[in-house]
Structures are given as structure tokens and as C-alpha cells.
Structure 1
Amino acid sequence: MRAMGLWLALWAAPALAAGDDLAEMNAVSRAWDRYAELVNANKPESADLLAASSFTHFTFLRDAALYASADQLRRLPSDDRIKAYLLRATQDEAALKKMDGVALARLFASKGWISVRSDEEDGPVSLTHVTISGDHAVSELGPPTESNFQFGPDFVREKDGWKYRLESSALAASAAFDQSATNAGVTSTQMTEFVLGRILEAEPPRLAVLDRAPVDDAAARIRLNEQWPDYDSVFRFRVEALWRKAEAEDGLAQLALGSMMLDENPQYVQRDPKQALEWLERASNNGNTRAAMYTAGLLMQDPSQFGDALYRRVLPHLQRAANASNGMAMVELSHFYAEGLAGLPQDCRQAVDWQARAEEAGVEHARNEQVWTLATCPVPGQRDPARALELARFMIERKDKLSSGELDTVAAAFAANGKFEQAVAYQTEAVAKAPEEYTDRKALAATLKRMKGRLSDYRKGRDYVLDYSMYEQAKAESR
């Protein structure tokens, strides 16, 4: 018996796009290159390239250094927590209170506490692409991977030009820090003390000491909670860029946007399954093979809509995904060949070829699919009972682990080869096991009816040739 259904795993990641105004893109790149040059040389004037929001952020970090409790410090992303610790370790209360956001930005730059050096190259991090969306700009630090854009810092347009939002890098820098601790097999506390020691070129300070606020002020701690940075703003900027890319027919951006619309992310995109499908289908048509499988899965998820028009709409997406080595798409495409759907010829040999490829791609139940097709093919001259039983040997050797559907398949292979005693034995077990595996009573009833019909035939010495459409049966059961 064949398995019904498509695998559907929804993937979401905000993405960026091309096609923005070249002059503005170049202006952003120049602003970044100038900032990188200055900050990597420990020049305090690098602060002139920071956005006003970054000065507000530094002011918050100053207040965190003065007043934050240990719990508030731990709530900060790692990168900002280290910045607060640096201020506590090097500045007294009076000095901190005198500094505004600009002064703090200049301090961090002059001390070399911030930089944009590449981990892999001896030089600054370079932007490879910029997406402009109104007064916002989001950068990329490398070409897209198969499933992601490599997001970089973001920028805002102010009266005197494009400015870098330093706070937009906090989450990425923190994630890198946390991963480094994991890779090194140390705790976050140990890694933080180590990093502080390296930055300060001194004996690592104990966090137990730095966790104690210089000023015990409950009202100030409340204000910190009320002024907590909106770290998620970086994602909203990326979603703005994502829309630009998707509208410009970037398949990866369309995949990302469509996937987000299938999830509950109201802070970024409203859930809209209908529009999600439109974006995913456009992404597939633009050559994105991941979107192709998701599109096929969404289109085929409602059996009540099955019919020739739907099959023809699904087919190019299945073919695209199958040709990109998606095993589940191969299985579903094999079913289209087995039944002759969407204008394809009914061709069991083609079906088995795709099922064999699916097994090679790692789909475990593809062996069951091959045996069933070879044993029950209704196309004259294409049935191959001997090959079916040969492939079934692997299943027979692990009989105790077979599902009711797999037992049903092995029984059909035995019957096709005239081995009716074994066919009856396996089919009897299939009928007995089916109720344990079905929660849908209607589906169970239909399955048992077919299984018992085959069992009756085997007892009479008759083999089984496929006499129904899996898709039409699913449609009937959905009513």
C-alpha cells in the first residue's frame, strides 16, 4: 500500500534583495568603509558616522553600568553586557555620570573596545550588497547561501547622510560570542571574564564583583526596564528589505516572506496562508527549489480540491523539487506517473525509477513504494512480480518492524508471484495491525475494506492489480 501525503517543513528567515538605487547603495558603503577605517584605527571621530539611536543606546549602557542589577545585566545580549562590564571596570561613578552617548561612543572607539575587523581576513568587514527601503538600509556581508542571506549591519538616513546603527550588530555579535563559549567548552561567565581580561590587558576581573551596581537606586532600575532597547528592530528592518527583494522577484526573499506568513510572527508579518502560497509559488517559478516543495505541499494539503487543474498546477513544482534531489518530491512525482496525472503518461517504470531515486535520497518508505508499484501495476507489460519480491526481501527480513501498509505491500508481492499462502499470512497481519495505526475512523474503515478485499482474493488464489486512484480515494474520504 502506498503512503499518502507530502512532507512540508516551513522555513523562515528574513532576507534581503537587489535592485536598489545605486547611488544610495554606494553612499551607504562609503559611510561604512569610512567608519570601519576610523574605528579600526581607534579614532574617536568614528562616532561621527554613528546614528543618533546609537548614542541613545550608549546612554542606556552607561545607565546599566551605573544602576543595573545582576539580573538586568544577564538580560542584556552578551555583547552589550560586556560593554557595561567594561564601563564598571574602568570608570568611576562621577566619570560615568558626566558622559553622554557621544562621549561614550568616542571612549569606546579610542580604547579599541569596538571594531569591525574580520575574523577571517586582516582588514575590515566589507559590505557586499545593500538594500534600501526608505530611510533604512540593510547590508549583506557575503553572497546568499542556499537558504539564507548573510545579514550585516543596518543604517539610517539622517540629515547629514547615512549613519551606522551600532546597536543593530548587538545580537549577531552576541550570538558569535555565545557560540565561541560553547565551542570552547566553557561557561558564559568564564568566557566573559577571559574576554574582559584580554581587552583590559590585565588580570580578568571577577564577575561576582562587577555584577554589583556602583549605585543602588531602585527608581533607576525601574527606568532601565522602561528604556530597554528594542533589539528586535534589526529584524523589522530586514523584513522591510525582504519586501523590496520579493517584489523584485528574488526567489530566496519570496521564499522567506512566504514562510513567515505561514508562521505566527505578527510583530513582523501578519499570518496570511493565501498570500504565503502566492509568494512561495512565485519563488518556485523563479527557480527556488525549496519553495517548490513547500508550494507542492501547500497545494496538495486539502484533498477536497484534488482534480486535474490542481495536479497540473502542482506538477512543475514537484518536478523542480524532484530534480533538485528532494526525496519526498520524488515519491510524490512517482505517484503522478503511477496514476497518469497532470497530462503525464501512466508509466509504472517511470514511477519506480523515481521511487528508487527517492530511496537513494534517504526516503525510507520508498522501498515500500517500489515493491507496491512493481507488484500491482495496472499497465499491461509493466508489472514485474519477480523484481517486486526481490526488493521485498529486505522488508521480509525485518517483518516485526513493518507497518500495516508495508505488510499489505509484501502480501501483494507474494500474491503477484503466486505464493498465496504467504500472501494470506502477511495480509492477515496487516488487517490486524491497521487499527493500531489509524486515528481517523473514516480512513481506517476505507483502508480495512480494501485490505480485507485483497485478503479474500488471496484466499481464492487471485492476485491484486491496482484498481483505484489513491488521490480520488483521498478526495472521497475528505468529504
Structure 2
Amino acid sequence: MRVGILLAWLIAAPALAGDDLARMNAVSNAWDRYAELSSQGDGRAAEWLAPSSLAHYGFLRDAALYASSAQLRRIPMSDRAIVYAFRATQQADALAALDDEAVTALCLHENWCGIASPDAGESLAALSHVTLVGDDLAMGELGPPTGTQFMFGPELVRDQGQWKVRAESMANNESLMLQQQVQRSGIREDDLMQAVLAYFLGPDREAPLLALLGQPLRDDAAARTRLNERWPRYDDVYKTRVAVLEKKAADGDTLAQMGLGALLATGSLPAAAPKDRTRGIDWLEKASAGGQPQAAAILIQLLIEDYTPQKGKPMPADLLARLAVQTRRAAEGGIGEAMLQLSGLYFNGAGGLARDCILAEQWGARAEDAGVAGARNNRVWALATCPLEDQRDPQRAIALADHMMATADTLTYSELDTVAAALAAAGRTPEAADYQQRAIARVEDAKPATLRRMQQRLAAYRKGQDWVQDYNTYELPAE
């Protein structure tokens, strides 16, 4: 499957040893030559492919000859399209007569594989950056990082002194792009594959229905078994990418530190990055300190997952302080949920932060602007129940609570509790008592201590008193 055109991007790099720079240039030159020839449908592009790639196209030839429908479904979409093209255009005997080099040349000549020729005004796909992994392996990037991930492209290997492209290393990327088209368009996968096949064959050749191409050109049970034994290790490319992340992370690249840390901490790609929670968190902390707010957000989640509350004891102060640091970084980096969490930390004066209800309300407002559910509730509570008299603002609390009262029937018990506190702060205690009764009646899953405090507030409102939260929620013992 041909690779879509991506913008080239040059990045600043640390000083490189002469040998490394020469090897990186050689890698880029090899890619450029392969891209140039393959974009023109020139079979000579095969000379710039690694031996493993020639064997890979040989596998796709054999898949066209022998693969069952179940086996065909296991092949990534981009390679599956090539198999369909072989079946649609080649007779079994003629296809079987092609060796690996010849079938690769056919694939390139027909523009079923290789690099797409650029559109008018565009440049041929180029490597924006090259990372060397050992002496004979390299990974190219086909564009700048998106901010959350690298645009990893092909692997290249040095074969008899010449750098060559591993075309099979791009199969997962190309298939992912096809899968994204399926998701965006809402069409069936087979319908997209039918369209790809029609594009491959062009206007002068009618594309057979996929249903007619689902069966092998030759029915050979032994050959089908051999296909299983030769099945490509499509996911091996991720091992190279993890090795690249390791190098970039060690060089101080915070995006690489975040990606590597997340992989190690979660164990989400065990074959390439075996789970190592401690090491993963260490890389995430480096990334967070280096300005990656998403790394801070991931750390918050991991630290909370690793914490087991102990009945009768509050969260340890050192853990809370650690969470507060990451919460501030994530919030300042624009992550809405962290803004709401930071609002709560400021209101309570927790995690080493001084209590500040004004900042609590401001961070709540930013969270609300970011669309975080519950942010308005936090803002009203902070203004209505602040224990710092000069920062308490009942009128503003009521103004913000008006919107909540307009939809009172849809409010949760916690939101009704907040409206009641705002009304009490504004001196409207009979209304506050009514809302508090409704809040208590709506309670379903509150902890006993929470329900007890709600009942204490109701008693205060009935006496004409308001409510001030003079305690730190984070210092309350776990139930």
C-alpha cells in the first residue's frame, strides 16, 4: 500500500559524531532513492529494499495463492489489498512462477506498493529525522511529532554496506490509516477494501467483487500450513520504536520520555516494552518536569491507582504533595480535569498549597470553560463556604447558583447540597433547608460521614445559620 504524502520537517539535533552523521545521511539518501523510484512505478526500487522485504512480498504472493479466508483476514489491510490485487490480475501458474524479486518488481511497477507520487505542488515524502539503533538498524520519521506522538515511518537496515528499506515495517501504519478511514466514514471495511482494489486496478480494469477473491487461487492444505509457519512478525517494528524512544528519552526528549514511561508503567505493549512500573513512573516524572502536561496527568492516574486507602487514616502527606505538584503542572498545561482538581486543592489548602478560595474559584472557572463536568458546583461551593472571611462571596455564589437552581430537578445530591450552602450564605436559610432536604432525599451512594455532614448542615440552616467548611477534606480519615 502506498504511503500518503507528509510534510518534511527538520529538527534541531545535538552535535553528532562524524560517523553517526554520515550514517544518518546515508539512511536518508537510501530512502530518497527508494521513494523516487517507487513513486514512478520503477521496478528498480526493489534494489533499495532489504532482503526481508523481498521475502515479505514473496509471502504475499503465496498468500494470494494459498491463504484461506480466515488467514486473509489476519493480514493487515494494506497488505491484504496487495493480496487481492494479485488474485484479481494474476493466473495461479504465472504468479507461482515469479520469484521474490520478480513479484516485488511487479508490485512496484503496478503501484500497489511503494511510495505515492506527490500531488501537484507537493514534495516527495522524505524522512524528517533518522535515529540510529545500533550499527545496522535505523528508524525514520515521516513528519514532525504531533505533540502526543512521533510520526514513525520505515525501518532501514544495512545490508552488505548499503542501507535498504524494510517496506514491511510500514504495514501497520498504512493499515491504521485505512482503519481510521473506516471509522471516520462509517463504511464497512470490505467496502473500503473494494474501493482500494478498484483504485489499484485503475479505470481500464474492472475490479472483481471481494467475495470472489476470498478463496485461494490454489487449494493446498500443506501450503496453508506453511503460510502459518512463515507468518510475518508485523509487531516487531514496535521493538525498534521502543528502542528509538529509549535513545530519545536518554537524550532529554520529553515526548519520548512520556511515551516510554507510559508504555513501561502500563505494560500495554509487553512484547516490546515489558511492564516496569517504577521505571515508567520515573520517565513520566522526568517528562512532567520537562513540560509535558499529559505526562503529569498520566502520573496522577498511576499514583492514585497505586494508592490503597487505609481505614481511619488520611492520604499520606508525601503522596498528596506529589499529586499536588503533578496536578498543578497538568492544569497549567491546559488539562481540564487537572484544573478542577487544582481548584479543590487550593480550596482545602492541601498538598503544600496555601488555602486560597479566590484561586480555587478561578481554576474552577477555567475547568468549566474547558467543559469539565462539576466545575460550576466547585466554584459555587468555594465562594459560599470559604472559611477565609475576606474571600467568601455569597452574592457571587448565588449568581452562579441561579443556573443550577433553574435545572434543580436534574441536579445530583452533591449539587443540591452546594445550592443549599449558597442560599444559606446569602441569608436565605429557609430555602437552603428546603434544598438540603431534597439533597438528602436524593442520596444513594454517599459515605456515612458525608451524609452525617449533610444532616449537620440541614440542622444549621433550620436554625438560621450558614455553613463554613473549616476543615481540609484531604485530611479526613478514609472510611
**What interval of TM-score do these two structures reach, taking the shorter chain for normalisation?**
0.7 to 0.9
2:287 is the alignment partner of 1:283? yes
Distance in 1 between residues matched to 2:304 and 2:249, nearest whole Å? 24
- Mapping of 1:158-237 within 5 angstroms? 158-180=159-181, 187-200=188-201, 201-237=204-240
Q: Show CA shifts across 1:262-312 (max 9, x none).
A: 244322222233322212111111111111222234345536673554444
Q: Provide the identity percentage.
A: 46
Residue 186 of structure 1, CA deviation? 5.3
Residue 129 of structure 1, CA deviation? 0.8
Identify the range of structure 1 (65-74 vs 358-367) with the bigger mean alpha-carbon deviation: 65-74
Aligned length in residues: 455
Distance in 2 between residues matched to 1:311 and 1:266, nearest whole Å? 30
Q: Show CA shifts across 1:156-206 (max 9, x none).
A: 232322221111122222333455566667544444444444433312233
- Call closer, same or farther: CA 1:113–1:459 in 2, change over 3 Å: closer
- Code of the aligned partner of 1:370: R
| Local SS of the residue matching 2:464 | coil
User: Which stretches in structure 1 are left out of the alignment for 5+ residues?
Assistant: 1-15, 439-443
Distance in 1 between residues matched to 2:186 and 2:440, nearest whole Å? 53
Task: Check conservation: 2:350, 2:474, Cα contact below 8 A.
Answer: no
2:126 is the alignment partner of 1:126? yes
- 2:347 matched to which residue of 1? 338
- 1:296 matched to which residue of 2? 300
- Mapping of 1:56-455 within 5 angstroms? 56-117=55-116, 122-134=122-134, 135-180=136-181, 187-200=188-201, 201-260=204-263, 261-300=265-304, 302=307, 306-434=315-443, 436-438=444-446, 444-455=447-458
RMSD: 2.6
TM-score, structure 1 as length reference: 0.87
User: Which stretches in structure 2 are left out of the alignment for 5+ residues?
Assistant: 1-10
Distance in 1 between residues matched to 2:287 and 2:410, nearest whole Å? 40
Identify the range of structure 1 (277-286 vs 257-266) with the bigger mean alpha-carbon deviation: 257-266
| Local SS of the residue matching 1:163 | strand
| Local SS of the residue matching 2:156 | strand
Residue 133 of structure 1, CA deviation? 1.6
| Local SS of the residue matching 2:456 | helix
| Local SS of the residue matching 2:78 | helix
2:459 is the alignment partner of 1:460? no
Task: Check conservation: 2:128, 2:141, Cα contact below 8 A.
Answer: yes
- Call closer, same or farther: CA 1:297–1:112 in 2, change over 3 Å: closer
- Code of the aligned partner of 1:321: A
Task: Check conservation: 2:153, 2:170, Cα contact below 8 A.
Answer: yes
Task: Check conservation: 1:392, 1:413, Cα contact below 8 A.
Answer: yes
| Local SS of the residue matching 2:158 | strand
- Call closer, same or farther: CA 1:326–1:86 in 2, change over 3 Å: closer
| Local SS of the residue matching 1:266 | coil
| Local SS of the residue matching 2:174 | helix
Distance in 2 between residues matched to 1:146 and 1:178, nearest whole Å? 22
Q: Show CA shifts across 1:353-387 (max 9, x none).
A: 21122211212311111111111111132211122
- Call closer, same or farther: CA 1:451–1:198 in 2, change over 3 Å: closer
Distance in 2 between residues matched to 1:223 and 1:190, nearest whole Å? 30
Query: Which structure exhibits the higher relative contact order, with contacts defined as CA atoms closer than 8 Å and separated by 6 or more residues?
Result: 1
- 1:7 matched to which residue of 2? none
Task: Check conservation: 2:349, 2:472, Cα contact below 8 A.
Answer: no
Distance in 2 between residues matched to 1:311 and 1:179, nearest whole Å? 40
- Code of the aligned partner of 1:233: D
Distance in 1 between residues matched to 2:166 and 2:87, nearest whole Å? 24
Task: Check conservation: 2:350, 2:472, Cα contact below 8 A.
Answer: no
Task: Check conservation: 1:408, 1:427, Cα contact below 8 A.
Answer: yes
| Local SS of the residue matching 1:437 | coil
Distance in 1 between residues matched to 2:359 and 2:122, nearest whole Å? 54
- 2:22 matched to which residue of 1? 23
